[in-house]
Structure formats: structure tokens, C-alpha cells
Amino acid sequence: MRPFKYTRASDAAAAARAVAANPDARFLAGGTNILDLMKEDVERPNELVDLTRLKLAEITTAPGGGVSIGALAKNTDTANHPLIRKNYPLLTQAIVAGASGQLRNMATNGGNLMQRTRCQYFYDTAMPCNKREPGTGCGAREGLNRIHAIFGWSEKCVATYPGDMANALYALEAQVRVRNASGRERTIPIGEFHRLPGDTPEKDNNLEHGELIVAIDLPKSNFANNYYYLKVRDRASYAFALVAVAAALEIDRDIIRQARVVMGSVAHKPWRSQEAEAALSGRPASEENFRRAAAAALAGAKPLAHNAYKVELGKRAIVRALMRAAKLI
Amino acid sequence: MPRYIGKEMSRVDGVAKVTGRAKYAAEFRAPNLAYGFIVLGTVAKGAIKSIDTREAERAPGVVRVFTHVNAPKLGPKASHEQAPPRAQEEQDKSFRALQSDKIYFNMQPVALVVAETYEQARYASRLVKVTYNAEKHTTDTEAVRERARVPKQGPPPKPRGNPEEAMKNAAVKVEGEYRIPIEHHNPMEPHAAVAVWDGDKLTIFDKSQEVYNVRKHLASSFNIPETNVQVISPYVGGAFGSSLRPNYYPSLTAMAARELKRPVKVVYTRTQMFTGHGHRPYTIQRVALGAERNGKLTAMIHEVVHNTSTFEEFSDNTTGFTRQVYACPNLHAPLRITDTDLNTPTWMRAPGAVSGMFALESAMDELAYALKIDPLELRLINYAERDPESGKPFSSKALRECYRLGAEKFGWKNRKFEPRSMRDGRLLVGWGTATGIWGAFQMPATARITFRPNGTAHVASATSDIGPGTYTVITMIAAEYLGLRPEQVEFELGDSKFPRAPAQGGSWTTASVGSAVHGAALAVTARLLEFANREANSPLKGALAADVEMLDGRLRLKSDASRFVNIAEVMKRNSLNEITETFESKPSQERRNYATLAHGAQFIEVKVDPDIGQVRVTRAIEVTACGKIINPKASHSQEIGGVVWGIGMALQEATEIDHRFGRIMNPNLQHYHVPVNADVHMIETIFVEEDDTVVNPLGVKGMGELGMVGIPAAIANAVFHATGKRIRELPITPDKLL
């Protein structure tokens, strides 16, 4: 890889300052994605600011009945934490659907949100990619795009956000707490954390340069009983989703009071379907209603040359996830 | 009674491997070692217009940057146009790096950056700037299918009987077109070489399946005698065919070391492996089968087109076994190849056979459904009692027993014929079967045994152990016939200083090298008898070599164990510090009177989630008949691995090319999928042993490739049974089943 400066941050403020001061600096946490990308010459930071000594790994109850998850808590520890298992089992399911045990032991929650697309063109520096090198074009738009977006893509970029955890977080309406170099904290609703590619696909998310994720806050959840994370992929494990669905229902005497339907690997960000949720709300939990919701969710899909299957697969995956969530199968 | 042969034995090299003592090519060190990193090109065809290495040369630690401009020419055949006449030499028209400005395929090496450390070399490799005069390329086999031609090598596609006529008149016909994408071997260990020169003598540590072939390749590359080259390759972390040919990196590494007058190491990255060796070719197959209503095949037509490169011919012999697997009087099975701007394909585990049998055995399943005959029954109806191609008898063939035993173990009789008729809750259950077939090959091989009076032996042969357990099986054979315990035998391989052995390919190693070791052990026995009988009072007087055996320090009469001599004493009396015998074994004349094949039957259960297109291979029963089993433990391991490879080929593996750029787009293990543990469920492998006195003295047949041959078809057939969908294009991914 290219030479870079390695800085070990002593506290969050110093870390944010160090990165803010250098446009080519990046944070380093678990390193499960950025180090690979540096070896492939896709990421070219000249400085890495190591966060791993920061005390940001706690998982604690928050006022109002929620839970706050430290940005540096490992995926494994998060998925297995009693508070998460009990109150947010959807999150546990989503995390363990991703990567492998070894990777989850290294990967942090903040880093998971920051993972970059798995588009093949992004990974190959000889290929055009507006995300990697703005202005070079999108290799996948007219190329191999079986794993690419069916929602929200632009002519500049058809890549997807590949992760699992964020899909569940969106269904759980998490807030991402970030801190900048001057110590100012703000929270970003998870649905606004990642962004659509538009004309600037090089930007995966709405963080300012130097802003550091310190925690993910989960509000009190009514979805601990009826939930399901479904990941459809080309092999049984250790593959990114073709389509993923995070489904969560609040059911009261067979009537759905609240529904959350988030799809993964279909867009540049976790793709929540308000249409599906509206179609479910106030209605009985039934396969027929789930089909209607699924149709609503995929109605706006715009598939590419090789991924039309995602539309049908997306519908079926939503129905399946909702059926499981409602415990009808 | 054999003491070791036929009994389970753990790998003799197991501890060395798991403790890191076993050294793989990239792990060898040499004083003052420099590290090379390969720079790959970015166009598929054309020529290098300019190559600017100045910035790279200025980078920290860089020793030199080699390109076609400053790299010396390798070998007498600098031009690809000079086609050598003989087939043997034809093989060494292999691509050599940095020989001209010409680009033959995308991700072709265009420079080698050598630096003091690997990291420095890799970094500087990014500073090499290359521009190209690109030409219009073709990497899509489909697009040049019509230009396909008959390869110069291999058997000519002679029809048997009158297949067209028979097809026309057949009562029942099926016809389909089947496709297999390019696949890559992806062994765990990346290919690597460490080259060390001493004057005009080269020592190279390499990952190789045939050290003698690499030696020859390097000798011709540098115009030095073969005896000046030593190739060392003691351990190989999987190869599956990817190290059968020399590949371009050994000569590249040795060239750099020679120019720099210091040792150089080059290791492929995973990505570089995708063009650093060949691949299983993209294969288009048309199969038409005609049969009588009773299921008897009357016509088989199996036409194949696959890709080769523009500079070398490669034939996968896809239809070779089609000619031998079923009794059918009328057959045409031609293979044609077509040029693409890709690197040359190569053999990949069960080459040709697994591709051809995917198509043929899928078509047999289609025929079974057209006839409404149980798929297993159809295969029995067309059972070949003699080789349909040559008319010769089989040296042994227990396939019928494989079918019977497999069906019984699997519970095949409970299968419902109709597709979509079996369920497990929401899942569709499918049961499929297919036949596996592979040759019982034997190649000339030489082994040397040095027997010492202290009851230890050193055995050497320049074969490889790419994972099947050759170290162990040869140790067992030597121990058996020298009358020693395995721990008294030291077997060394993977070094061109040892007697010549064939490539570890074709599943012929135990048959070939094992026979040589067996012969050498018998030669030691005979020599001992000769020394013993020089003594007037020898209790073995009058005995022939065939009458005696070595056991526990004694040479004794087989028929009367009380008549023996003490081996150590005989050697002492004759002042022998050791007895060394070298033996070359060759395929017998008798083999020519027979067809020699190994067979198998596979029974596969899949469970398909029809809503989301997900396939799981929940049960696999594989019964194989491959002669005598020497080490059941390693043999089962081979067949289990074969099943897993079959699962990968059926459901996951595909090298994807963006034909606009002529470039492989998934050259890594995140995008190129192979099975993970969660994809592998119940696998049971069973051997039906054959007592084959023809194939070779040990009665063994190969199994490493056989184990996967029928699996992709059996899985595809099971998917059809589960879903009613006939998938003729691998891999069967969820999108194809929606």
C-alpha cells in the first residue's frame, strides 16, 4: 500500500481534530474494510487515525428505555449483548447474518456503518468508477450489474450499500451520534446517515470530514416479539446479500399497529419502504396483506440489465420476512 | 495380510503442516533476497505504447523495474509464431512475461518491480505508468462460437455408426444446450517462486505439480542444460491443475534474479492468480439423445465449443468420456475450440469430464423424463458391459454395484418420479443422480529406495503432494513392501534432484509413483536375497525373489516364515552400509487389451426454497469404484472434497468478464464464490473395491477427480426434480430459480 502516517488517538476530540486537519486522513477502527481497500489501492489515505484505544465500546441503557451502543463496540459483542438480544433481537439477527465470526470479532459498529460498496468496478482501479474516481464514469451502469441497485441509483453510480446491520438499525429507527473536531455533537437519524449517489457518488454518507461516530442510539422498541432479518445470497454464509429485508411488526390482537420494512443491497443506502409500512399499518397480519405491502415496496423499482430478478426476489423476500416476523410460518 | 495397505492412516506430514514446519514456496528464504511485484496490464489486446518507470524506480527500496524494454528474451521460442512440430514441445508455447510490447489478454504482466521489501515493491508497482494502443478484442466465447475449429491435438472427432440417421429415426429424443462459465481453481496457497542463481546454475523454489516440467521450461528459457536447474517444491497448498504447467512467474522470477545477481521472490496476489495461470474454459455444449421407447440409447450427439487463447491451443477433451460411459451404437462427440483474447485455459480438477458429464448426465435425466423411466433405471438399461468405443473389456468395472449400493443407502426407491412431488414443509425436495467416470491412468514413473541395515529406508521420487496425501500413501506402500513400520520410512518428493515422476495430475500418482516404489521395494528384496544366497548356508537357498518378503528386519520365505535371514546381519557380512535401488515402472502391455476406467454413482438430495430460489445440498451419497483403496482416510477425504467442488461448480462458481473491457471483474474471493462450511451438509462417500490385476501392480485407480465428475449434474437433476426447472447453465444461483 501507499505510505501513510499512523496516529493513535488518545481521545475522541483529538481523533476528530486529527482527521479534520488533514483532508486525506481517515479513521481506523476494526480495519476490516479500509485496510483491504488500501491494499487494493482503492483507498489512498496518507494518514490513519487509530481509534481503537478510545473508550467508546460500551453498551448501556439510555434514558427513556433505549440503549446506547458505543461506536467501537465489536459487532460480535453487540450482537451477543443481553440488552440487544432481549430488546433488539432484529439487530442481533442482522449482525450475525453478515461477514464471518472472525470479521465480526474485529469489526466495530461505527466501522460497519462506514463500510463501502462491494461493486466490482469500485474495487478495480483499472476500471471506471465515479465513486472511487469522480468523473471516470460508472462501469456497472452498462456493465455487470447483477448485484447492483434497483432503487435510487443515478447515471453516475448504481452501487449498493452492502451491509446488514444498518438495515436493522433503520427498522429500529436508530440515531447515529457524531462528534466533530470542535467537540460539537449531533445526531443523525440512521435513514439520513447514508445517502443516494446523485452526482456525488464519492460521498457514501452525510458525515462531514472529521466527524467521528461515537455511538448509535436505539430508542425503546416494541419490536422484540415480531421481527425477522432475511438475507438472500449466493451461498449460505459469508456473502453479501442479493436482497436483504429487515422486517419488524408491532401486532396487537392480530392487527398490525406499526410496521417497519427495510430492504438491503437494493440501493446506495438501506431502503425503507414507507409504502409497505403504510399498507400494513392497521391491517391484519396476513399473507395477502404482506403481498400487497411487498408489491407497494417494489412498485418504484428501476432494475438494470442484469438485476431485474431483484424486483421479484425483493417482493418474495418481504413476504417471507413478514410471515416470519408475524410467526405465520 | 497387508499390514498397512487398506488401513486408515493419518497424514505423515500432518503435524509439520499444522505446526508451520512444512515450508511452502513463498516461505523459503535466501540471503539478500529481493522481492518482485507484478504489474498487470489493463487492456485485452493491442500493444504497449509507452511505459514510464521513472517514478517507480525512484521509490524507496526499488532495485529495478523490468519491462519488455529491458527484460532479456527468454528461451529459443521468443516468437509465438514459431510453432514447434511436436506435441510435447507444443505444451511449452506457454506465455512468458515481458517478451514484447504485445498484449494478448487483460491483466497480462507488463512489468516486474523488484525492491528490498515486498511492501516497497507493491507500492512502487502503482507508480509504473503504461499507455496502450488498444485493439478490438474478443473475450466472449459466444461471440466467436461460429469460428470454432478442431484442435490440432487430441483425438479426431470420428463418429461411431450413423448418429444423424439414428437420431432422425429415434422414437424419443431430447436435445439441449448447456453452458459452463469460466472457473478458476483458487487453491488456498498463492503461486510463488524464489529463484537463486549460482553462476549458471539455478535453484528455484516453486509451487508446482511437476518439478521436471518446470525444470525443462526454465532450462529452455535460459538456454542452460536441464541439469543446471533444480526445482524444489516440497509442499503445495492445493493446486487443482493450476500448477500443472509452468505458468509465467517462475521464468520471470528467475530472469530478475539472474539480471540482478541476487535471489528474487515473486508471489501472486489472489487477483493475479486469475490470469497468472489458466482456467476451466467457457464451454458450450449441445447434447442430443435418441432412444427407443424401452430406454435403449440409439444415438448420442455431444458437440462442444470452448475457448482457447490466440497464442496457444488448449483442448479440455470435454467429450472424451461421453464415448465410453454408455452402450450406444451411434455417436458423434466432436470438440472444437475458438480463439479469445484471454489467457490459455488449463486443466482444472476433473477437466473435461466434469464439464462434459454435466451436459450429458443432465441430458440423460431429461431423457428419463421424456421416457417416463426412473433416471437410475435408464442408466442401468444403457450400462456398458464393454467399452463402447474400443469394444475391449474393462479391466474392472463395479459401477453396477455403485448404483445398487448408493440407491440402497440413499433410499432411492422412495423417490417419487414427478417433479415437485416431494416436500419438506415449505421446501421442495429433489433427488437426483448421475454417473461419474474417470480414467485409470498410469504414467511412467521412477522411484529410488535406500535401505539401511538399521531398518530405516529413504524413498525419493520427484512427484508432488498437492493435498491428496501422496506423502502418506507412498510411505504406506514402502513400509508394506519393505516390511518396515511407516515411521521407519522417510519419503521425499517435490525436488528435481529425485528420480523423474510425472505431473501430479490426472489422478494417476498412486498408480504411477506407487508402482515405482513397489517395484523398487521388490528390487531391494531381490538384492537382499542375492546377497543372502551368496552364503552357503543360507536358509533361503533356492528361493526366487518372488518367494520371499521383507518383514521386521528379516527376509523370509512367504510360504514358511521359519526360513529367514536377518537382514542387518546379511548386510553387515557383505559390508553394505545401504542398498539403493531405482526402479522405473511403466504401464504394462496387458493394459492395452482392456479399457481401464474408474466409475462412480452419485445420489444427491437438494432442498429448494422456491420463494427465494435458495438451494441447499442436504445429502450427498457418492459411491465410487476405483480399484483398491490404499488409505481409506485420505481417500474419503478426496471424495468428500470432490463433492464439495461439485457443489461449488453447480451452485456458485463463475468467473465474470466484462466483455467491453475483456477483463475479469471478480478476481478475488469476495466476488468469486466457493462453498463455505455452511453450504456443506451430509456427505457420505463409499468405495466399492475392485480387484483389478490389470491396471497396475497395486491395483489402484485414481479418485481425486472422479469424486466431483457426476456431482454438478446430479445436483442440477435434483433441482429439476425439486422444482420442475431444468437449469442448463451453471451456476444455479437463486435468480435462476425464481
Q: Which of B568, B586, B604 is the last residue of a domain?
A: B586
CA distance B655 to chain A (A): 12
* B635-674 residues touching A, CB cutoff 8 A: 651-652, 656, 658, 660-661, 663, 665-666, 668, 670-671, 673
Q: Can you give the pLDDT of all 329 residues of chain A as single tens digits?
A: 889 999 999 999 999 999 999 999 999 999 999 999 999 999 999 999 999 999 999 999 998 999 999 999 999 999 999 999 999 999 999 999 999 999 999 999 999 999 999 999 999 999 999 999 999 999 999 999 999 999 999 999 999 999 999 999 999 999 999 999 999 999 999 999 999 999 999 999 999 999 999 999 999 999 999 999 999 999 999 999 999 999 999 999 999 999 999 999 999 999 999 999 999 999 999 999 999 999 999 999 999 999 999 999 999 999 999 999 999 99
Distance CA A231, CA B420 (A): 25
Distance CA A48, CA B574 (A): 73
Show Cβ contacts of residue B281 under 8 Å, excluding neighbours closer than 6 positions: B141, B182, B306, B307, B308, B314, B316, B345
Hey, are the CB atoms on A309 and B666 less than 8 Å from each other?
Answer: no
State the SS3 of B472-514: HHHHHHHHHHHCCCHHHEEEECCECCCCCCCCCCCCCHHHHHH
Residues B338 and B353 occupy one common structural domain: yes
Domain that holds residue B667: 283-441+592-737
| Bond before B731 cis per omega within 30 degrees | yes
Report pLDDT for B77. Answer: 52
Hey, are the CB atoms on A237 and B676 less than 8 Å from each other?
Answer: yes
Judge whether residue B91 has pLDDT over 60. no
When scoring B611, B616, B649 by the number of chain A Cβ atoms within 10 A, the one with the most, hence best to mutate, is B611
In chain A, the residue whose alpha carbon lies closest to the alpha carbon of B106 is: A126
Q: Does B21 touch chain A (CB under 8 A)?
A: no
Name the residue among A197, A122, A128 with its Cα closest to residue A156.
Answer: A197
Distance CA A150, CA A311 (A): 8
Residues B433 and B448 occupy one common structural domain: no
From chain A, the residues in CB contact with B678 under 8 A are 235-238
Report pLDDT for A178. Answer: 98
Choosing from B165, B312, B705, B729, the catalytic residue is: B705
CA A70 and chain centroid, separation: 16
Cβ burial A18-48 (10 Å sphere, 16+ → b, else e): bbbebeebbbbbbbbbbeebbebbbbebebb
Report pLDDT for B92. Answer: 67
Q: Which of A127, A143, A313 sits opposite B738 (nearest CB)?
A: A313
Distance CA A92, CA B656 (A): 33
Residue A78: phi, psi to the nearest 5? -65, -50
Report pLDDT for B736. Answer: 98
Report pLDDT for B93. Answer: 74
* Residue B175 included in any domain: no
B721 contacts B434 by C-beta, under 8 angstroms: no
Residues B234 and B256 occupy one common structural domain: yes
Band the pLDDT of B89: cuts 50, 70, 90: very low
* B407-446 residues touching A, CB cutoff 8 A: 426
CA distance A308 to chain B (A): 9
Report pLDDT for B157. Answer: 74
B532 contacts B570 by C-beta, under 8 angstroms: yes
Residues B300 and B435 occupy one common structural domain: yes
From chain A, the residues in CB contact with B668 under 8 A are 123
Question: How does strand B34-40 pair with strand B264-267?
Answer: parallel
Hey, are the CB atoms on B119 and A1 less than 8 Å from each other?
Answer: yes
Burial of residue A182, with CB atoms counted within 10 A of its CB: 0-12 exposed, 13-18 middle, 19 or more buried:
exposed
Q: Does B613 touch chain A (CB under 8 A)?
A: yes
Distance CA B214, CA B206 (A): 9
Q: Which of A118, A127, A242 sits opposite B661 (nearest CB)?
A: A127
CA distance B92 to chain A (A): 30
Report pLDDT for B153. Answer: 77
Dihedral angle, C-alpha A296, A297, A302, A303, nearest 10 °: -120
CA B10 and chain centroid, separation: 22
From chain B, the residues in CB contact with A120 under 8 A are 656, 665-666, 671
CA distance B232 to chain A (A): 30
B356 contacts B710 by C-beta, under 8 angstroms: no
CA distance A260 to chain B (A): 20
Element (H, E) at B172: strand B172-180
Hey, are the CB atoms on A126 and B663 less than 8 Å from each other?
Answer: yes
A297 contacts A273 by C-beta, under 8 angstroms: yes
SS3 of residue B306 by DSSP: strand
Q: Which of A127, A235, A242 sits opposite B679 (nearest CB)?
A: A235
Mean pLDDT of B144-157: 87
Mean pLDDT of chain B: 96
**How many Cα neighbours within 13 Å face the side chain of B292?**
8
Band the pLDDT of B158: cuts 50, 70, 90: confident
Could you give the ipTM of this predicted complex?
0.97
Mean pLDDT of B408-428: 98
* Residue B6 included in any domain: no
Per residue in B170-195, pLDDT (tens digit) is 999 999 999 999 999 999 999 999 99
Q: Does B123 touch chain A (CB under 8 A)?
A: yes
Band the pLDDT of B271: cuts 50, 70, 90: very high
Q: Does A74 touch chain B (CB under 8 A)?
A: no
Helices (H), chain A: 12-20, 34-39, 75-80, 82-87, 89-96, 101-106, 109-114, 120-123, 165-171, 190-193, 274-280, 287-298, 309-325
Hey, are the CB atoms on B616 and A127 less than 8 Å from each other?
Answer: no
Q: Does B735 touch chain A (CB under 8 A)?
A: yes
Q: What is the location of CATH 3.30.390.50 in chain A?
A: 226-325
When scoring A1, A115, A120, A122 by the number of chain B Cβ atoms within 10 A, the one with the most, hence best to mutate, is A120
A223 contacts A90 by C-beta, under 8 angstroms: yes
Percentage with pLDDT > 70 across chain A? 100
Report pLDDT for B85. Answer: 38
In chain A, the residue whose alpha carbon lies closest to the alpha carbon of B654 is: A234
SS3 of residue B420 by DSSP: coil
Residues B495 and B534 occupy one common structural domain: yes
Report pLDDT for A176. Answer: 98
* A283-312 residues touching B, CB cutoff 8 A: 309, 312
Residues B101 and B214 occupy one common structural domain: yes
User: Could you give the maximum distance between any two Cα atoms of chain A, in Å?
Assistant: 61
Name the residue among B196, B37, B63, B241 with its Cα closest to residue B125.
Answer: B37
**How many Cα neighbours within 13 Å face the side chain of A142?**
5
Hey, are the CB atoms on A142 and B660 less than 8 Å from each other?
Answer: yes
Hey, are the CB atoms on B738 and A143 less than 8 Å from each other?
Answer: no
B121 contacts B113 by C-beta, under 8 angstroms: yes
pTM above 0.90, yes or no: yes
Burial of residue A14, with CB atoms counted within 10 A of its CB: 0-12 exposed, 13-18 middle, 19 or more buried:
middle
Residues B436 and B447 occupy one common structural domain: no
SS3 of residue B667 by DSSP: coil
Report pLDDT for B80. Answer: 43
Show Cβ contacts of residue B454 under 8 Å, excluding neighbours closer than 6 positions: B568
* A145-184 residues touching B, CB cutoff 8 A: 146
Hey, are the CB atoms on A127 and B665 less than 8 Å from each other?
Answer: yes
Per residue in B564-592, pLDDT (tens digit) is 999 999 999 999 999 999 999 999 999 99
SS3 of residue B284 by DSSP: strand
DSSP class of residue B194?
A: E
Number of domains comprising chain B: 3
CA distance B738 to chain A (A): 7
Hey, are the CB atoms on B126 and A41 less than 8 Å from each other?
Answer: yes
Judge whether residue B82 has pLDDT over 50. no
Residues B294 and B385 occupy one common structural domain: yes
Burial of residue B528, with CB atoms counted within 10 A of its CB: 0-12 exposed, 13-18 middle, 19 or more buried:
buried
From chain A, the residues in CB contact with B738 under 8 A are 309, 312-313, 316
Hey, are the CB atoms on B612 and A317 less than 8 Å from each other?
Answer: yes
Q: Does A234 touch chain B (CB under 8 A)?
A: yes
Q: Which of B42, B612, B658 sits opposite A320 (nearest CB)?
A: B612
CA distance A198 to chain B (A): 24
Distance CA B16, CA B10 (A): 12
Residues B492 and B363 occupy one common structural domain: no
Distance CA B503, CA B618 (A): 35
Provide the edge-to-edge strand list for the sheet that holds B554-557.
Answer: B548-551, B554-557, B564-566
When scoring A238, A243, A290, A306 by the number of chain B Cβ atoms within 10 A, the one with the most, hence best to mutate, is A238
CA distance B595 to chain A (A): 40
Residues B268 and B415 occupy one common structural domain: no
- What's the one-letter identity of residue B335? L
Burial of residue B235, with CB atoms counted within 10 A of its CB: 0-12 exposed, 13-18 middle, 19 or more buried:
buried
Q: Does A203 touch chain B (CB under 8 A)?
A: no
Band the pLDDT of B521: cuts 50, 70, 90: very high
From chain B, the residues in CB contact with A237 under 8 A are 676-679
Name the residue among B638, B656, B616, B607 with its Cα closest to residue B702.
Answer: B638
Q: Does B129 touch chain A (CB under 8 A)?
A: no
Mean pLDDT of B709-737: 98
Show Cβ contacts of residue B738 under 8 Å, excluding neighbours closer than 6 positions: A309, A312, A313, A316, B613
Q: Which of A124, A235, A313 sits opposite B673 (nearest CB)?
A: A235
Q: Which of B586, B615, B634 is the last residue of a domain?
A: B586
Known catalytic membership, residue B389: no
Residues B661 and B638 occupy one common structural domain: yes
Distance CA A291, CA A316 (A): 8
Q: Which fold has domain A5-52?
A: 3.30.43
Residue A16: phi, psi to the nearest 5? -65, -40
Judge whether residue B131 has pLDDT over 90. yes
Q: Give me the count of residues in chain B.
A: 738
Q: Tell me the sheet residues that pair with B447.
A: B583
* Residue B20 included in any domain: no
Judge whether residue B532 has pLDDT over 70. yes
Q: Does B165 touch chain A (CB under 8 A)?
A: no
Residues B665 and B706 occupy one common structural domain: yes
Hey, are the CB atoms on A232 and B612 less than 8 Å from each other?
Answer: yes
> Strand (E) positions, chain A?
5-8, 25-28, 47-50, 59-61, 67-70, 175-179, 185-189, 212-218, 226-232, 243-252, 255-264, 271-272
In chain A, the residue whose alpha carbon lies closest to the alpha carbon of B43 is: A126
C-alpha cell at B320: 472424451
Band the pLDDT of B443: cuts 50, 70, 90: very high
Q: What is the location of CATH 3.30.43.10 in chain A?
A: 5-52
From chain B, the residues in CB contact with A232 under 8 A are 612-614, 734
SS3 content of chain B, % helix, strand, coil (to 5): 30, 25, 45
CATH no. for residue B325?
Answer: 3.30.365.10
B248 contacts B96 by C-beta, under 8 angstroms: yes
Q: Which fold has domain A226-325?
A: Enolase-like; domain 1 (3.30.390)
Report pLDDT for B79. Answer: 41
Show Cβ contacts of residue B484 under 8 Å, excluding neighbours closer than 6 positions: B455, B456, B457, B478, B550
CA A28 and chain centroid, separation: 18
